[in-house]
Chains A and B, each alone.
Chain A
Amino acid sequence: MAGEAGRGMSAGRDVKIKIEHVVKEYHGDHGTTVALNGVDLDIWENEFVCVVGPSGCGKSTLLNILAGLHEATSGECRLDGKPIKGTGVERGVVFQQYALFPWQTVIQNVMFGPQMKRLPKAECEAIARKYIKMVGLEDFEDSFPKELSGGMKQRVAIARAYANDPEVLLMDEPFGALDAQTRAQLQTELLKTWEQEQKTCFFITHDVDEAVLLAQRVVIMSARPGRIKRIVDIDIPYPRDQATKSDPRFMELKAQIWNEVYQEYLEVRK
């Protein structure tokens, strides 16, 4: 169960997101499916949390509830003590399928958030340029998504999320569709960005390597019914990069977490 994990690292920090007894049920044609069955988790301000677990353990459901796109059947999520109701610009989301607006250029995509805040056009453009630069796509401002590679598309999506200056970044397997090299590069970039401009990150992945590399805490979820099985502190100091993957402590933690996830996977297959 969730428990009081993250003691050492959480000292003196504020709870940013509080997830309390969250249950989510779907009522379909084949009866009721329990996606989440009583999830409790505290996420600290500026913390990087990764959630791993087999497919169908409800990790995406949890993210959707935090984003305000789905509603919990019971239980509650709070952001800075206030219950989460609906979407909000203080919570940015990066989707696995990029979700770029294909009829808009890179800069138009990144400007979308600021425009929704009804900021003046010049300001929207300035903000967009700043974050396009952050992800290194200055030369592609006027390109359409179809002209970009998968990695570039996801960079645009990250810039778009950042352009709203959210307090929390919710990422749903953002690098899941990318090849190994591009993924490694984007992981490194994300680490750098997070170290510079700290935000609370809630990052879903099924890649244990990725989770251990990025996160301060890795949350392992168990399937059927979806709940938190264990939380592992990743006590590897930042800055981290791809070289961290050959650190003995990294390999130890990775093996441990991988085993647990695999056990869960086998449970699901039964």
Chain B
Amino acid sequence: MSKVKQAKRPLSKAEKRSKLINWSWLLVSLVVALIVWFCLSKGERTGRSFPFVPAVIDGMKTMLDRDALLGDFASSMISVALGFSLGFVTALPMAFLMAWYTPVRKIIEPWINFIRNIPALAYAPLVVIMLGVGRTPSVVLIWICTFMTMCITIFHGIRNIDNTLVKAARVLGANDMDIFFRITLPATVPFILTAVRLGLSAALTTLLAAESTGAQAGLGMRIRTLQTTFETNAMLGYIILIGIIGTLLNIFVDFIERRLTSWQEKREEA
């Protein structure tokens, strides 16, 4: 895997053009979003919820002055990083166990499918009662949600490995160990990356529930407190900030994906 050499070649004219077109569309999308946002901010009722850009920036400045913004951001990122990491290191081996041992799959898979449909907010109090307030319950909630998403995704990936590849390796003299490290693992990498993408997204969407557990700081916790004081300027800013963090994480996964799975046959985009 590490030996993947990527030919550095200049982009062809057609590729440059299609790249330019993609960026242009993104720009158009952004402009339209701003127009819609602007219209909403001018409406009598909608304006209360959607103040326009200057107001939001103002709101964020206030939060900076209150010494809240950076702390909230750091706190949330720590919870997300811890919860996601725990989710990942537990989901990966569990996915393999489920793929290899039928009893494990038969017992665990229904649990995951059952719990996955319950909003984390619903069982957050149970975790707090068990673990007390503070960072621990936040991390545990993110762990649970990311674990379920990633475990199922990786598990399906392992099951979908093309069996002919395993056969081909076998007839070339590979033993079980070789098959795991040279076939199963590299063949699973694309699914692991998809799992990471979904896991990160799950971590962010769980943030509000995770920080409803008596957290001292955090983006999710702040959004809730700002609700009570109707400070929509800052609130909208925080909401958008979560979206930006998600987008950046996605771009980061895209980058890793390109490096690790450039060997994949891509289906042509329509």
Give the interface of A toward B (CB within 8 A).
Answer: 67-69, 87-89, 91-93, 95, 97, 99-105, 108, 112-113, 116-117, 142, 144-146, 160, 164
| Contact between B263 and A87, CB atoms less than 8 A apart | no
Q: A102-B263, A102-B264, A146-B265 are in contact. Are A69 and B170 (CB under 8 A)?
A: yes
| Contact between B171 and A93, CB atoms less than 8 A apart | yes
Q: A95-B167, A97-B164, A144-B263 are in contact. Are A103 and B172 (CB under 8 A)?
A: no
Per the bound structure, the CA–CA distance linking A105 and B165 in Å amounts to 15
Give the chain B neighbours of A105 by CB distance below 8 A: 3, 5
Give the chain B neighbours of A164 by CB distance below 8 A: 172-173
Per the bound structure, the CA–CA distance linking A160 and B263 in Å amounts to 19
Give the interface of B toward A (CB within 8 A).
Answer: 1, 3-5, 162, 164-165, 167-175, 178, 182-183, 186-187, 189, 261-265
Give the chain A neighbours of B263 by CB distance below 8 A: 102-104, 144-146
| Contact between B5 and A95, CB atoms less than 8 A apart | no
**B189 to A, closest residue via Cβ:** A103
Most buried by B among A69, A89, A99: A99
B261 to chain A, nearest CB (A): 8
Give the chain B neighbours of A146 by CB distance below 8 A: 263-265
Per the bound structure, the CA–CA distance linking A91 and B262 in Å amounts to 32
B91 to chain A, nearest CB (A): 22
| Contact between B5 and A117, CB atoms less than 8 A apart | no
Give the chain B neighbours of A142 by CB distance below 8 A: 5
Most buried by A among B165, B168, B178, B262: B168
Per the bound structure, the CA–CA distance linking A270 and B178 in Å amounts to 46
Per the bound structure, the CA–CA distance linking A142 and B7 in Å amounts to 10
A210 to chain B, nearest CB (A): 21
Give the chain B neighbours of A93 by CB distance below 8 A: 167-168, 171
Most buried by A among B3, B183, B263: B263
Q: A99-B164, A102-B263, A103-B263 are in contact. Are A112 and B172 (CB under 8 A)?
A: yes
Give the chain B neighbours of A69 by CB distance below 8 A: 167, 170-171
Give the chain A neighbours of B1 by CB distance below 8 A: 103
Per the bound structure, the CA–CA distance linking A108 and B263 in Å amounts to 13
Q: 14 interchain pairs (CB within 8 A)?
A: A95-B164, A95-B167, A95-B168, A97-B164, A101-B182, A102-B264, A103-B1, A108-B3, A112-B169, A113-B173, A116-B174, A142-B5, A144-B263, A146-B265
